[in-house]
């Protein structure tokens, strides 16, 4: 069953049926048809250590070879591999597969000459520049395990990750560049290394023209290292079960969890997902507006596009302000992008600044075939605005594809699989489970619930290839955090339901389900109703303590620019009436606060838990280190403290 053979593309039902009948055979076929192996696997999944499963246990490969070298060998050396687009530095640079092979192999040689070898860890602390992808791929070439830390993380958070992985080296840069400032990385790196107990042996620093830093005795200049390395190094063979990378979840308390991704399963999943989910094939172009510090950036900026022979746009900028709300659409036109992938928050920000899509309409988007949105729940209002505005700008119906997944899974759990079957879209749903994921809904006792009834979203084991192998250095934590709640299942931590057509609806984290006078209600459902009001640009609904009802919903609302003339009190009254009409008086929805902004992580997720704890008067509320702008949260504290 070759999903890359466009003349014989199977349907979604064909693939799901095949996996149900013979999962081993199906995933072995994908492995042998999509990936080049040094030693071809004869077994798909090893269940001998269940509930921990390993994929392709007897296979051997190199992921970097599959992402770069084989395309050069097959005549694609002059095709663009990465297009670096940086409106903050006014730079656009195209890197072909041949050029990428040269730089990655020479940088890998430089690291090898300094002692980095198979199994060593390397921490990468960089902004969205091509050298970040080069560093990741160079580690993969050597069989070293990379751990990318989001650029600009505070020194203490970086130190925690350095201590946990005990890296041989750190790869970083002199600075990050934003619209109105330059963020110096070297002082933060130096402080982190000073704090850390497990000191790296050396650091490699990419010097940027916007700010050049002073190097210490254990620092190596990236450009000088390359200049001293005339010959590259070949790819090192690793086991499919060997670790490719460790990526940390942003825990609010305690030690963060290092999500371990293996080499073989991840390569197969990434290569499978490009044609199956995105309908992307060699020579196509994908623009994922995320960051390599997040899982979306790992999978859909670096690995999956390159594994599939697709051109990847690596974008250093924002959806607005670099220079305006047309930034994404300028890049889509300029680079002939076929699939654009960003977060719902980005589209809400674009809408707030350009509610009628006038800037979008300035650009030729004829190359665009689909818009993917993920990273948080896609509310129906944002989905409908994006769909409508893209149609007005292009004169075509562009699929707006919600997709739901997690750092832990590495690739989508649920999506509309454009390369298999294009299902009718339903606002509020990421459509159906991706083939390989057996999604079920259970009640707190572990019993299945009927279609349409909300419960805990779980996935039957084994998870498909490409998902987390374990927690770095801690199998018991992997089991206790994810696998112990219900025998034979992975606990997603999200609540939701499956409708009668098998569509998945993700309503929020399980702690976002509130109990109002004995009635269990999802804040996600209330939030969707609030967000549908035309005056609302963004909304967050949290459950807060109430002496009588136990919990009640409270909405924090940001008004859109077009609503400036609106009477805030009138909007509040309309929102209360709207929720009463759509959900009913059982919601006990009365409290709405109009606020200038909502606190978010750097990846765009709203800090609902933090706001809930502030509203409930919790001492030392959990504030993720990934917070985008602490001042926004500080401004809200007095509002949230009001009972």
- Answer whether residue 566 shows pLDDT above 90: no
Is pLDDT larger for residue 624 or for residue 502? Answer: 502
Which of 477, 492, 507 is a domain's end point?
492
pLDDT at 5: 53
Is 454 found in the same domain as 543? Answer: no
Instruction: Report the CATH number at residue 211.
Output: 3.40.50.12780
Instruction: Report the range of poorest mean pLDDT among 231-240, 301-310, 404-413, 506-515.
Output: 506-515
Is 545 found in the same domain as 475? Answer: no
pLDDT at 253: 43
Helix (H) or strand (E) holding 116: none
Question: pLDDT tens digits, residue range 6-41?
Answer: 556 789 999 999 999 999 999 999 999 999 999 999
Q: What is the 3-state secondary structure (H, E, C) of 347-415?
A: HHHHHHHCCCCCCHHHCCCCCCCEEEECCCCCCHHHHHHHHHHHHHHHCCCCCEEECECCCCCCCCCEE
Is 541 found in the same domain as 453? Answer: no
Q: What is the 3-state secondary structure (H, E, C) of 540-590?
A: EEEEEEECCCEEEEEEEEEECHHHCCCCHHHHHHHHHHHHHHHCCHHHCCC
CA atoms of 77 and 69, how far apart (whole Å) = 9
Indicate the pLDDT class of residue 101, thresholds 50, 70 and 90.
very high
pLDDT at 554: 93
pLDDT at 4: 59
Is 187 found in the same domain as 104? Answer: yes
- Answer whether residue 152 shows pLDDT above 60: yes
Is 302 found in the same domain as 248? Answer: yes
Q: Which token pair is 637?
A: 């504290």
Question: Is position 349 within any domain?
Answer: no
- Answer whether residue 519 shows pLDDT above 60: no
Is 297 found in the same domain as 238? Answer: yes
pLDDT at 1: 58
CA atoms of 139 and 279, how far apart (whole Å) = 29
Question: Is position 378 within any domain?
Answer: no
Region 525-551 average pLDDT? 84
pLDDT at 604: 72
Instruction: Report the range of poorest mean pLDDT among 55-69, 237-251, 321-335.
Output: 237-251
Question: Is position 264 within any domain?
Answer: yes
Question: Is position 379 within any domain?
Answer: no
Instruction: Report the CATH number at residue 569.
Output: 3.30.300.30
Total structural domains in the chain?
A: 2
Question: Is position 381 within any domain?
Answer: no
Question: Is position 249 within any domain?
Answer: yes
CA atoms of 239 and 253, how far apart (whole Å) = 34
Which of 455, 477, 492 is a domain's end point?
492
CA atoms of 298 and 245, how far apart (whole Å) = 10
pLDDT at 580: 82
User: Which residue matches tokens 């390359």?
Assistant: 226
Residue 587 lies in domain: 519-641
pLDDT at 251: 47
Q: Where are the beta strands (DSSP E) in 199-304?
A: 202-206, 219-221, 238-239, 243-248, 258-262, 285-288
Cis peptide preceding 386, ω within 30 of 0? no
pLDDT at 256: 78
Q: Which token pair is 80?
A: 């663009």
CA atoms of 11 and 17, how far apart (whole Å) = 10
Q: Which token pair is 91?
A: 């730079």
Is pLDDT larger for residue 74 or for residue 622? Answer: 74
What's the residue count for the chain?
A: 643
Indicate the pLDDT class of residue 44, thresholds 50, 70 and 90.
very high
Which of 443, 473, 492 is a domain's end point?
492
Q: Which token pair is 295?
A: 């899982």
Indicate the pLDDT class of residue 512, thresholds 50, 70 and 90.
low
pLDDT at 641: 81
Number of C-alpha atoms within 13 angstroms, CB side, residue 449?
19
pLDDT at 546: 77
Question: Is position 325 within any domain?
Answer: no
CA atoms of 375 and 412, how far apart (whole Å) = 10
Is 107 found in the same domain as 31? Answer: yes
Using N-to-C axis directions, what is the helix angle for 97-113 and 130-142, rounded to 10°?
60
| DSSP code per residue over 274-295 | HHHHH---TT-EEEE-S-TTSH
Note whether 6 and 274 are within 8 A (CB).
no
Region 458-468 average pLDDT? 98
Question: pLDDT tens digits, residue range 153-178?
Answer: 778 889 989 999 999 999 999 999 98
Indicate the pLDDT class of residue 2, thresholds 50, 70 and 90.
low
Instruction: Report the range of poorest mean pLDDT among 279-293, 298-312, 468-482, 502-516.
Output: 502-516
Using N-to-C axis directions, what is the helix angle for 608-615 and 630-641, rounded to 10°?
30
SS3 604: coil
Closest CA to 2 of 41, 33, 37: 33
CA atoms of 528 and 382, how far apart (whole Å) = 10
Question: Is position 393 within any domain?
Answer: no
SS3 591: strand
Is 486 found in the same domain as 525? Answer: no
CA atoms of 213 and 472, how far apart (whole Å) = 33
Is 542 found in the same domain as 440? Answer: no
- Answer whether residue 252 shows pLDDT above 50: no
Is 259 found in the same domain as 203? Answer: yes
Closest CA to 72 of 120, 38, 105: 105
Region 165-193 average pLDDT? 95
Is 532 found in the same domain as 467? Answer: no
CA dist list (Å): 278 to 6, 339, 429, 465: 13, 7, 17, 18
What's the angle, vertex CA 130, arms to CA 126 and CA 133, rounded to 5? Answer: 70
Is 174 found in the same domain as 116? Answer: yes
Helix (H) or strand (E) holding 162: helix 155-165
């Amino acid at each position: 069953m070759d999903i890359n053979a466009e003349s014989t593309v199977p349907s979604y039902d064909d693939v799901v049926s095949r996996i149900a009948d013979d999962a081993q055979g199906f995933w072995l076929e994908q492995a042998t048809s999509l990936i080049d192996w040094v030693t071809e696997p004869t077994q798909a999944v090893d269940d001998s250590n269940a509930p921990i499963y390993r994929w392709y246990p007897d296979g051997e490969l190199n992921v970097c070879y599959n992402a770069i070298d084989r395309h050069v060998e097959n005549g694609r050396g002059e095709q663009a591999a990465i297009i670096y687009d940086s409106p903050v530095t006014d730079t656009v640079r195209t890197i072909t597969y041949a050029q990428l092979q040269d730089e990655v192999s020479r940088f890998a040689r430089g690291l090898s000459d300094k002692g980095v070898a198979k199994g060593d860890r390397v921490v990468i602390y960089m902004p969205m520049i091509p050298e970040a992808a080069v560093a990741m791929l160079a580690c993969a070439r050597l069989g070293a395990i990379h751990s990318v830390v989001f650029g600009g993380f505070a020194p203490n958070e970086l130190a925690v990750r350095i201590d946990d992985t005990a890296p041989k080296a750190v790869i970083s840069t002199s600075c990050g560049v934003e619209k109105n400032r330059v963020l110096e990385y070297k002082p933060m790196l130096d402080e982190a290394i000073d704090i850390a107990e497990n000191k790296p042996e050396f650091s490699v620093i990419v010097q940027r023209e916007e700010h050049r830093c002073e190097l210490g005795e254990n620092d190596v200049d990236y450009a000088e290292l390359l200049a001293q390395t005339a010959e590259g190094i070949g790819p090192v063979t690793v086991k499919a079960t060997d670790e490719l990378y460790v990526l940390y979840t942003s825990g609010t308390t305690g030690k963060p969890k290092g999500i371990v991704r293996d080499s073989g399963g991840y390569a197969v999943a990434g290569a499978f997902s490009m044609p199956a989910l995105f309908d992307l094939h060699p020579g196509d172009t994908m623009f994922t507006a995320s960051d390599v510090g997040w899982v979306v950036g790992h999978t859909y900026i670096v690995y999956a596009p390159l594994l599939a022979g697709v051109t990847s746009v690596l974008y250093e900028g924002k959806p607005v302000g670099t220079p305006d709300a047309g930034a994404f659409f300028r890049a889509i036109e300029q680079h002939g992008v076929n699939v654009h992938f960003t977060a719902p928050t980005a589209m809400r920000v674009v809408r707030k600044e350009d509610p009628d899509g006038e800037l979008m309409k300035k650009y030729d988007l004829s190359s665009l075939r689909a818009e993917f949105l993920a990273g948080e729940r896609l509310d129906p209002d944002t989905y409908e605005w994006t769909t409508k505005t893209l149609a007005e700008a292009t004169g075509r119906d562009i699929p707006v594809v919600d997709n739901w997944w997690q750092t832990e899974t590495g690739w989508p759990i649920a999506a509309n699989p454009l390369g298999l079957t294009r299902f009718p879209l339903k606002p509020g749903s990421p459509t159906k489970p991706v083939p390989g994921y057996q999604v079920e809904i259970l009640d707190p006792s572990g019993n299945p619930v009927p279609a349409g009834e909300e419960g805990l979203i779980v996935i039957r084991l084994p998870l498909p290839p490409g998902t987390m192998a374990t927690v770095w250095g801690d199998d018991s934590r992997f089991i206790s955090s994810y696998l112990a709640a219900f025998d034979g299942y992975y606990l997603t931590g999200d609540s939701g339901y499956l409708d009668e057509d098998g569509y998945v609806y993700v309503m929020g984290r399980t702690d976002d389900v509130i109990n109002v006078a004995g009635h269990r209600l999802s804040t996600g459902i209330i939030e969707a109703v609030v967000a549908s009001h035309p005056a609302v640009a963004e909304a967050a609904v949290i459950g807060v303590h109430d002496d009588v009802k136990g919990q009640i919903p409270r909405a924090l609302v940001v008004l859109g620019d077009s609503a400036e003339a609106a009477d805030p009190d009138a909007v509040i009254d309309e929102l209360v009436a709207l929720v009463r009409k759509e959900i009913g008086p059982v919601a006990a929805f009365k409290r709405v606060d109009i606020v200038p902004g909502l606190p978010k992580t750097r990846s765009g997720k709203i800090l609902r838990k933090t706001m809930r704890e502030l509203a409930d008067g919790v001492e030392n509320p959990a504030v993720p280190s990934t917070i985008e702008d602490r001042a926004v949260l500080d401004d809200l504290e007095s509002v949230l403290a009001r009972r």
